[in-house]
Every structure is written in structure tokens, then in C-alpha cells.
Structure 1
Amino acid sequence: MDQVLLARTQFAVTTIYHFFFVPLSIGLVFMVALMETLYVAKKKEIYKKMAKFWGHLFLINFAVGVVTGIIQEFQFGMNWSDYSRFVGDVFGAPLAIEALLAFFMESTFIGLWIFGWERLSKKVHLACIWLVSIGTILSGFWILTANSFMQVPVGFAINNGRAEMNDFFALIKNGQLWVEFPHVMTGALCAGAFFTAGISGYNLLKKRHIEFYQKSLKLALIIGLIGSIGTALSGHGQAQYLVKTQPMKMAAAEGIWQDTADPAPWSAFAVIDSAKKENKFELNIPYALSFLSYSKFGGSLKGMETLQKEYAVKYDGKVGKGTNYIPPVKTTYWSFRLMIGFGVGMILLSIIGLYLWKKGRLEQSKLFLRFLPPAISFPFLANTFGWVMTEVGRQPWTVFGLMTTANSVSPNVSAGSILLSIILYVLIFTVLAIVMVYLMIREIKRGPIAHQAIDSNKTIDPFNKVGA
């Protein structure tokens, strides 16, 4: 058993699992804040019920996300101690700010929002949920600040074999951060929107609480379209930035072994032979890659073999001769396309849904409503494949150009210990998943009110235990 492979496997498992909850928390609390804003502005009770119902689902997700986030933090000290020693002075600052500022901000105002419905004024209570939403966004910002350093290291100096921060504001101004942050945040909006849309579509098919889920679905489709288009546009900007800063990752994502022609075609499909370093079959779209890379129908890209030679000259003195700087090509290539595919699916579903709404056929279109529950998975899959492409495509580096993955693992942790911890984590995650699914299904079955329809003259609000 290879220690590095096991450590990477464990980090992948914990990261992917944790990131199921992060974008949903960010996107769903934003949806809840919008619903409560509509309640305060329009003074209609249905929007209050929407904020409470979807807010309960957010709280379940948030709680499980906190637990998985704590487990995620353990990784750096357990399996990646050499990495932690090397970048701790830089990496620790944004993570500390995230914990002390953003997370405590979220936690404080979540408490005020939960217990303040009948104790705070409407506007103050509304401010609480918006501050929770802002807190989740700030939390994402600081985490991505740390991650951006791994992609494009800035604001540091090497002293005594360690990277030490010498310019905190350089971390914040990092160009990687400002292409990565909007991409992740708009992806989170998609997660919240399609989660809301999927549950709403299912209940409309069952003809439950029609008005409630109609309004929830319409709001979700609007945010879903904004989020999915925003994700596509910000992803385009991120890809162009990759061409400049991590050309090897971009070449792997496009399956480019040799330098391209000018203009460069985009590979829509390829049969990749990594051993022979060639593509046995390609389906190309002429000019498209040049446009995607440079916003013009001209320009070529370097291939992986050319970049391997350049990286060998530049980095072999640091990490050892003969290092293979080409990442796992098939994984990078296909995760990139799967991310794009699910993103396009979200755009199309949002447009179709809004068209049906405009034509007054949204609630009657059973075929469209049946698509919505499985579409809950689209943003989660797109987010996951996007991160796989981002992290796997950076190999063999943990910190690009400074430290390789092989040099980052804990030297005194055995492969057997890592394997045992992977098994334990999988068991913990399985239990957490079962608990979360049970709680979510229970809340969804209870619906926005207990036992009676929302438009009944006598309704019971299960959240306040008083008549609505």
C-alpha cells in the first residue's frame, strides 16, 4: 500500500463529502434570506412559512456540515504534517480568520434567527438571516484565499525551509482568488436553488401545498438561472487565468499532448492513451479553444510534452530530477467535461422552467416536474467534478511550484494507520449521511405546516405552536 496514495484518497474522501454541505449551506441560506425579505416587503404570511420551512432544512445541513468540517481540519495534522510545517505561517492566517470571524458570525446570528421570530422586530430578524448569509460567503472567501495560495503562491518568502507570509494583502489580491471565488459562490447558488426546485417539483407532482411550492419553485428557477449562467461566465474567466498561471493543468483538461495549431480546436470528446501520450480519437470543434482561452479566434496552447520539458528545466533542481509534471490526464479531462455538462443541464432546466412559468404551464408540466428531483444532484456533481479537476490537475504539486504532494505527507504515519482511519471516516460519514437523510425526509414530509394545508382557515404552525 502506497502511503501517499492512501493519504490522498483520505483527503479526497473527506473533502468531497464535506463539500456536499458547504455550497448547499451558502445557497440555501441565501434563498431563505430572500424569502424572508419578501415576507417583510409584501407582508404575506406565506413567505414567512417559506423562510421557516426551508430554514429548517438549512439548519440540518449546516449542523452536519460543521461536523464534517471539523473532520476535514484534522487532515492537515494527521497525514500532511510536512505540508503544514511548510505553509502553516501562510495557510493558517486565512483559516484562523474564517474560524474566528466568519464561522462565529454565522453561529451567533443563526441563534438569533432561530429564537428571535417572536422576540425581534421583523427588520432586525431579517438582518440576522442576511448576516448569516454574509457569514457563509465570508467563510467561503477565506477558505478560498488559502486554496488560492496553493494554486498561485503569492505574498511569501522562503525562510529556514518554510514559506513565511510577508504580505497579507497579496493573498487577498491574488488573481486566482478573484476568478475562483465568484465561480464557487455562483455554484453554491445553484446548489440552493436546485435543492429548493427539486423538493418543490416533487411536492407539486403530489399536489401538496400548491401555492407554497409554486412560489418556492419560481424563486428557485430565477436564482438557478442567475447562478448557472454566473457559474459559466466565471468559469470561463477562470479557464483563461489557468492558461497563464497553470498551463499544464489547462493542457491536461483539454487533452493536449503536443502544441496546438493556431487557432486551436476544442476537444469535445477524446479517447486518451496516457501511456503512449496521445489521443487515439478526437472530436474537435475548430477555433473554439482559442476563443475559450483568449476571447478571440486565434492563438495556440502549449502541449503537455512541451511543458514537461520546460518544468523539468525550471523545477528539477527543487524537487529532484526525473519528476513527472503531467497530472492524471484522463481524470482531469473528463472531470472538466462532466462539470461543464451538468452546468449546461442546469442552465437549460432553468430556462425551460421559466419559459413554462411565463406560458402559465409550469405546474401542469409533469414531465418537467419529474426532472427536478434528480436535478438536485446536478450542482453537487458539477461542484465535485470541478474540484476534482482543480486539485488533481495541479498534481504533482500541493503548492504549485514550491512543494510536491510526495514531500507533503506525514513521514511517521504508516500506510496501515491511514487505511484504518479511512475506514473509520467512511463509517462516520455513513452514519452522518443516514441521520441527515432521515431528518431531511422527516421535515419534507411534515411540509410547511403540520397536518393542514397552507390555505386552510385554521392552520397550525409547528415552529411556533400557535395558530397562523
Structure 2
Amino acid sequence: MSELLLARIQFASTTVFHFIFVPLSIGLAFIIAIMQTLYLVKNAEIYKKMAKFWGKLFLINFAVGVVTGIIQEFQFGMNWSSYSRFVGDVFGAPLAIEALLAFFMESTFIGLWIFGWDKLPKKLHLACIWLVSIGTTLSALWIMAANSFMQNPVGFVLQNGRAEMNDFLAVLTNPKLLVAYPHVIFGSLATAAFLVIGVSAWNLVKKRDTDFFRRSMTISLVVGLIASLGLSFSGHSQAKYLMSAQPMKMAAAEGIWEDTGDPAPWTLFANIDVENKESTARVEIPYLLSFLSYGKFSGSVEGMNTLQDKFVQQFGEGNYIPPVKTTFWSFRIMVVTGGVLVLFSLIGLFKIWRKKLEQSTKFLKWLVPLIFIPYFGNTFGWLMSEIGRQPWVVNGLMLTADGVSPSVSAGQILFSLIAFSLIYTLLAIAMVYLFIRVIKQGPNEKPLEDVSATDPFSTGRVV
């Protein structure tokens, strides 16, 4: 395999694995903050237990996520040095702010939150977890600002053979960032909500701590429904944005080779024939693509063949059509996962309203595997966004093939790919083991063992 292919495989694998932890940290911090707020408002110990129990899972996830993030960043210097030189002046600024501001903010207040129980005043301790939640969302903001530049370069000038920032505000108000960032936050909230829902459902089936897990599920179903609906609306905003900023990605996501008529139908399923550049056996919904693209039931969409001709004239000879099958099916899997989350959130809240949740054993069993649905949505959404941008690593400025390190061999990349994969496997095993252990222990903390009879310091005497 070529250096380019191996470098892309490594970046994709490490990013997908790292992105397992990031959304969960963002969403869990927010849900825990809600639970602790209820503890302060209602002065009910059960909400304190909820914050502590789900906080254990948050801390495990956060710790593993930090390690995977460090490993991921090695790649910029290892495999993508040409890319790093070209965009380092722009790309490096938000990443540096993320590390120096958001990450240190998270870490500081996580420490205060962990050790501040019964030591800090309740309101101050509550402020700590809210600041952790704010820190995680700010962290996502800076990361998405960097990624949005790759999708839609703004706030720079080309000089000295590289992109140099000349407008930091433009980077922070990038139209791509404004539509992508809410989508990421809603996805994170859905990820955490359905983890809590799934774990709670498993315990309700087992009839363990039913009041605790029913309350946990109620909070998370509300968060899950809001997040799932938010995903739908923010996804629609992104589709409208793609029509003007990245029309090739939109055409590939819809499997459109030739210009559509007016109005344009949305394709549920199709057989994508890349060799002959056509999509056959299409199952379509009339008018819907026009609505997704323009917010109205009229308007045509340019096909990939038309756009390819335009890009050849603009950028020179080359193939500017991304991997169509991957982009097409990734988009549909993402849409299906969003629909599933909305449906089960509504059913769950309806059953709670009717006070039939605990008796609905079959429904609770269905909720357990839904833990993984947001992860599928996050992963395939990322694949659609990044693969749909190909062949560009920075849209319209730098081809992916030009961003690879010139002095790194395929053997070296393969060795690091295997090494990172082994590290990630060990981390995954450790995290799953710790998660299962905490979940099985449940929310009831064991009392501290009485060691006064054997502890020479227990009486206060110096021995």
C-alpha cells in the first residue's frame, strides 16, 4: 500500500476511536451538572448519588479520551508534515487555545469536583461541574474551528507558500463552523443520554435500584429527545450550507451524477455504479431534496459530472469526485440513526407519562443496545463529512495527496499504525472492563471499613 493510503487509514482509525470518547465526555458532563443542580434545588440525596455514579463513568471516559487524543495529534507531524507546514499558522491557533484554555479549564475543575464533595460549599461545588461542562463544549468549539477551516478556508492569505492567518474573527465566525458546531454538540448530548438510558434500562430489567435508574432515565430521555430533534434541524442547516459551499459533497451524498430536474426528489436507496457514473434502482421521495437543499419545494441540484467539469476548469486536470458509495451510504446511516433516537425517546417519555416504563420489559431490553446507535451516527457522520471533501485536505487549496510527509516511508507508517492499534485495543479493553465494573457495583457506595481497632492513629495518640 502507498504512503498516502496508509496515512489516511491511520488518521481515520485514530480519529474514529478518539471520537468515541469526546462526545460522551461533552454530553455526560452536561447531564451530571443537571443531576447535581436537582440535588441543590430539591435537597434530595438520590440526585447526589446520581451525579456521583454517572460521574465515575465520565471520569473513566475522560481519562481514556485524553490518551487517545495525544496519540492522534502525533500524526500531524509524523504523516502530514506538508499539510502542517501549509496550514500550521491557521490550524495551530485554535488547537493551541483548546489545549491551553479549554482543556486546562476542564482538568482544573474536574479535580475540584472530584475532591470537593462535602468540602466545598454546595453552590461552589455545583459551579465546578458546570464549568467542566462549559470547558468540554469550548474544547469542541476550538477543534471544530480548526476542522471547519479545512472544509471552508477563511481568514487567511496565501504568502510564503503557506496559508497565514490575517483575520482570527473570520475563523471563529466561519459559516461552516456555525452549522457544524451545534450538530456536534447535539450529537454529544444524544451519545451521553442514550448511554444513561441503556444502562438504566438494563438495571430496571434486573429490578435493581429502580427509583434511582428511573429518575436517571427520565432526565436522559428528555435530553435525548431534545438532542435528537436538534440533530435533525442542525443537519438540515448543514445540507443547505453544502449546496453553496461544497456542492460536490452534496451531490455525492445523494448519488447524483447528472443535474436533477426542478423540483428534485430525495433518494432513499439506490445502486451506485461508479464505473458507469450512474445511480440505478432509485427509490425516491418527490420534492424532498429541493426542501433539504433550499428550504423550499423547488430548485434543482447540480450533478457530479457537471461539477467535475467546472472544477477541472477552475483547478486543472484531476478527479474531483469523492468516494461516492461511502459518502452516499454514510449519510443514510447517519439519518437512520437520528430517526431511531427520536422514535425511542418519544416512546420512552410516553411510557413514563403513562407510568408503564418499569412494566415494559421488552421495551427496556430494546433500549439497552441503543447505547451504540449514537456512536454509529457520529462515526458515519464524520466519514460523510471528511470523505465527501476528498480529494481535498483543505477544500480548494491543498489536495490530500500533497499533504503527506515526503520523508516517511510506507513501512514506518504501517509500523506506527500497528502500534497505535495495539494501544487502542488495550485502552478499549481497560475502559470496557472499568465501565462494566462500575455499572455492576451500582450507585450504592460501600461504607468505609472501620479500622479504629487496628489503626494506632485513630485515637489521636502519637506512637
The TM-score range, normalised by the shorter chain, is over 0.9
Tell me the distance in 1 between the aligned counterparts of 2:174 and 2:279.
35
1:380 is matched by which residue type in structure 2? Y
d(CA) in 1 for partners of 2:171 and 2:36?
A: 35
Distance 1:178 1:432 in 2: 33
Q: Which residue of 1 aligns with 2:369?
A: 374
What residue is the counterpart of 1:429 in the other structure? 424
| Equivalent position of 1:416 in the other structure | 411
Q: Is the partner of 1:406 in helix, strand or coil? A: helix
Evaluate the alpha carbon distance shift between residue 271 and residue 461 of structure 1 in structure 2; reply closer, same or farther with a 3 A threshold: farther
Deviations for 1:382-435, whole angstroms, at most 9, x for unmatched residues? 000000000000000000000000000001101111111111111000000000
Q: Distance in 2 between matches of 1:358 and 1:60?
A: 33
Matched, 1:349 2:344: yes
Give, in whole Å, the separation in 1 of the partners of 2:47 and 2:16. Answer: 33
Kindly indicate whether the alpha-carbon contact (under 8 Å) linking 1:225 and 1:347 is maintained by their aligned counterparts in 2: yes
Deviation at 1:279, TM superposition (A): 1.0
- Residue deviations 1:185-229, cap 9 Å, x none? 000000110000000000000000010001001111000000000
2-structure distance, mates of 1:93, 1:410: 21
2:147: which partner in 1? 147
Q: Kindly provide the CA deviation profile for residues 211-261 of structure 1, in whole angstroms up to 9, marking residues without a partner as x.
A: 000100111100000000001100100110011100000000000000000
Note the C-alpha offset of 1:128: 0.1
Partner of 2:106: 106
Q: Helix, strand or coil for the counterpart of 1:284?
A: strand
Q: 1:331 aligns with which of 314, 326, 335?
A: 326
Q: Match for residue 179 of structure 1?
A: 179
Aligned equivalents of 2:223, 2:357: Cα separation in 1: 16
Match of 2:228 in 1: 228
- 1:259 aligns to what? 259
SS in 1 for 2:280: strand
Structure 1 distance, partners of 2:137, 2:296, is 33
2:140 aligned counterpart, secondary structure: helix
**Within 5 A, what are the aligned runs for 1:39-50?**
39-50=39-50
Distance in 2 (alpha carbons) for counterparts of 1:109 and 1:91: 27
What is the Cα deviation at residue 283 of structure 1? 0.5
Change (3 A) 1:102 1:335: same
Deviation of 1:266 (Å):
0.3
Partners of 2:362 and 2:441 lie apart in 1 by 25
Q: Which amino acid aligns with 1:147?
A: N
| Separation (CA, whole Å) in 2 of partners of 1:297 and 1:238 | 17
Gaps of 5+ in 2: 450-463
Give the partner amino acid of 2:282.
E
Per-residue deviation, 1:3: 1.1
Which one of the candidate residues 432, 441, 448 is aligned to 1:446? Answer: 441
Q: For 1:127-206, what aligned pairs fall within 5 Å after superposition?
A: 127-206=127-206
**Partners of 2:14 and 2:166 in 1: CA distance:** 31
TM-score (norm 2): 0.96
Once the two structures are superposed, residues 62-109 of structure 1 have per-residue CA deviations (whole angstroms, 9 ceiling, x without a partner) of 000000000111110010000000000000000000000000000000
Distance of 2:127 and 2:195 partners within structure 1: 24
- Aligned counterpart, 2:87: 87
Residue matched to 1:68: 68
Match of 1:386 in 2: 381
Q: Secondary structure of 2:157's match?
A: strand
Distance in 2 between the 1:438 and 1:284 partners?
45
Say if 1:336 and 1:461 are closer, same or farther in 2 by CA, change over 3 A: farther
Post-superposition offset of 1:162: 0.3
Once residues 413 and 91 of structure 2 are traced to their aligned partners in structure 1, the CA distance between those partners, rounded to angstroms, is 23
5+ long unaligned stretches in structure 1: 452-459, 463-468
CA distance in 2, matches of 1:380, 1:337: 15
Aligned residue identity for 2:128: C
Equivalent pair of 1:200/1:217 in contact (CA under 8 Å): yes
Distance in 1 separating the partners of 2:126 and 2:177: 30
Q: For the residues of structure 1 that align with 2:22 and 2:147, how far apart are their CA atoms?
A: 15
Q: Quick one: distance in 1 between partners of 2:16 and 2:320?
A: 24
Contact 1:197/1:217, CA 8 A, preserved across alignment: yes
How far residue 444 of structure 1 moved from its aligned partner, in angstroms, is 0.6
| 1:449 and 1:461 in contact (8 A); partners too | no
SS of the counterpart of 2:444?
A: coil
Q: State whether residues 263 and 300 of structure 1, in contact with CA within 8 Å, keep that contact through their aligned partners in structure 2.
A: yes
Distance across 1 between alignment mates of 2:21 and 2:3: 28
Letter of the structure 2 residue corresponding to residue 200 of structure 1: S
How far has the Cα of 1:280 moved from its partner? Answer: 2.2
- 2-structure distance, mates of 1:261, 1:2: 41
Q: Which residue of 1 aligns with 2:454?
A: none
1: CA distance between counterparts of 2:361 and 2:202?
10
Deviation at 1:371, TM superposition (A): 1.0
Task: Provide the secondary structure at the position in 2 that maps to 1:271.
Answer: strand
Separation in structure 2 between the aligned mates of residue 421 and residue 17 of structure 1, nearest angstrom: 15
Q: Percent identity?
A: 64
SS at match of 2:401: coil
Determine the structure 1 residue equivalent to 2:23.
23
1:461, distance to aligned residue in structure 2 (A): 7.9
2:125 aligned residue: 125
Counterpart residue number, 1:293 = 293
Number of equivalences: 449
Cα distance in 1 between the residues matched to 2:73 and 2:411: 21
Per the alignment, residue 466 of structure 1 pairs with none
Cα separation, 1, equivalents of 2:86 and 2:173: 22
Aligned partner of 1:307 in structure 2 is 307
1: CA distance, partners of 2:160 / 2:205? 64
Q: 1:118 deviation in Å? A: 1.4
The code of the aligned residue for 2:193 comes to A
The match for 1:275 is: 275
TM-score (norm 1): 0.95
- Secondary structure at 1:376's aligned position in 2? helix
Which of 382, 391, 397 in structure 1 is aligned with 2:392? 397
State the distance in 1 between where 2:368 and 2:413 align: 37
Q: Distance in 2 between matches of 1:73 and 1:287?
A: 43
Give the superposed CA RMSD.
Answer: 0.9
Structure 2: distance between partners of 1:236 and 1:297: 14
User: What is the deviation of 1:450?
Assistant: 3.8
**2:84 is aligned with what amino acid?**
S
